[in-house]
Amino acid sequence: MGDKTILIVDDESTNLTVLNMTLDSHYRVRAANSGERALQIVNSDPRPDLILLDIMMPKMDGYAVLQKLKSDETTRDIPVIFFTAMDSEEEEEKGLAMGAVDYITKPIKPAILLARVKTHLMLKQAQDFLNDKNDYLEAEVSRRMQENQLIQNVSIRALAHLAEIRDPETGDHILRTQSYVKVLAKQLQGNFRFSNTITDHYIELLTKSAPLHDIGKVGIPDNVLLKPGSLNEKEWAIMKTHAEMGARAIEHAEKDVDESVEFLGLAKEIAHWHHEHWDGNGYPDGLAGNDVPLSARIMALADVFDALITVRVYKPAMSFEEARDIIIEERNHQFDPDITDAFLICFDEFVSIARKYQSENQ
């Protein structure tokens, strides 16, 4: 431990000389003859690895010095050994309670001093090693979590793009509806009806889940999915199966992992029920009111707004204002009234999002 630095602090030069002679052949020694000087030295290089501190000093005693050291983040972890002529149990207890690691009484016995110093330097080294190890482990855990998050996000986008490959209109639709959903959820967070459900974490999961709402369309035949006109009754029945197919696909994905993946629960709700109506006239299960999961109710409005303002193979695009008016008409019918009201408050944000991710064919 010859590379370690010991700071000795005593107002008596004789004590400093004895301490220096004892320690000099083993450690780098720095000396201070007052508390004030000790605090100057401790913040200069080489910084001490351990401090031997006298208690009875004029102006600033050892207790005051220790208090200053412990109040400073840069010095609080330096081990301090009190050495003093005061040998009462009360003084020893006081010093240890303030944060000293040891208490040695004068006169100094060189062998005992060296043994105590070596012990506490080894303890400090071990503590530093553990702290460094913990910092490394925390950094590694954080890195792995970020990596897993990236893999998860890429996987979601890859799945969503499966639907995009089948239906070219889906690409920008995914980006727009994902943004609409986030805006709506944030607005609804202030509504007492939803305050217990819509947390920041819920919004994060909902936003992540939204791109999978139409994943079931990968199972719809091209002659139905890409038909340039209205669907007949049989074709419409086929089209409507995409909701259940999407939910089943996500459910199968859940079964393939040992632990539950939180966002997949919302993704399954959205895929399954985002075509349900507030009044019960939607599909596939004819759910109504609060029986329709909140995630699906939010997605429903975002999905319809985007469908209305977008060119599709079977229709031209509507203006933002025309789409808004249709959604107002469907308040309390197709859409949850509170979600409709939130949409109206956020209408300008919806328009900005639509323009930001505007398809070339709009």
What is the pLDDT confidence band of residue 218, given thresholds at 50, 70 and 90? confident
pLDDT band at 151 (very low <50, low <70, confident <90, very high): low
- How many domains is the chain built from? 2
Assigned domain for 153 exists: no
Q: Within this chain, do residues 225 and 264 fall inside the same structural domain, yes or no?
A: yes
Q: Are residues 128 and 180 in the same domain?
A: no
Asked if residue 294 and residue 215 are part of one domain, the reply reads yes
Other beta carbons less than 10 A from residue 74's beta carbon: 10
Range of the domain at 274: 167-356
Task: Tell me if 150 is assigned to some domain.
Answer: no
pTM equals 0.60
Same domain, 132 and 185: no
* 291 vs 6: CA distance, rounded Å: 71
Residues 90 and 32 in one domain: yes
Q: Domain of 24: which CATH number?
A: 3.40.50.2300
Residue 361 lies in a domain: no
Q: Does residue 31 share a domain with residue 115?
A: yes
Judge if 86 and 27 occupy the same domain: yes
- Residue 245: what residue type? M
pLDDT confidence of 171, banded at 50, 70, 90?
low
Quote the tokens at residue 359. 């398809």
C-alpha of 351 from chain center = 30
Both 119 and 250 in a single domain?
A: no
- Residues 252-294: tens digit of each pLDDT: 877 766 666 777 888 999 999 999 999 999 999 999 999 999 9
Regarding whether 188 and 310 lie in a shared domain, the answer is: yes
Identify the pLDDT of residue 68: 93
pLDDT at 85 (0 to 100): 78
Domain boundary among 113, 136, 159: 136
Do 152 and 329 form a contact (C-beta atoms < 8 A)? no
**Does a structural domain hold residue 221?**
yes
- Hey, what amino acid is at 286? G
**Please, what's the b/e burial string for 137-164 (b: 16 or more CB within 10 A of its CB; e: otherwise)?**
eeeeeeeeeeeeeeeeeeebeebbeebb
The verdict on 182 and 300 lying in the same domain is yes
Backbone angles phi, psi at 172, to 5 degrees: -70, -30
348 and 219 both lie in a single domain: yes
pLDDT-based confidence at residue 362 (cuts at 50, 70, 90)? very low
**CATH number of the domain residue 201 falls in:** 1.10.3210.10
Q: How does pLDDT run across 29-88, given as a tens digit for each residue?
A: 999 999 999 999 998 989 999 999 999 898 899 999 999 999 998 898 999 999 887 777
Q: What is the pLDDT of residue 344?
A: 97
Q: Is residue 20 part of a domain?
A: yes
Cα pseudo-dihedral 253, 257, 263, 265, rounded to 10:
60
Number of residues that this document lists for the chain: 362
Q: Are residues 127 and 200 in the same domain?
A: no
CB 347 within 8 A of CB 326: no
Domain-located, residue 279: yes
CA distance 172 to 114: 73
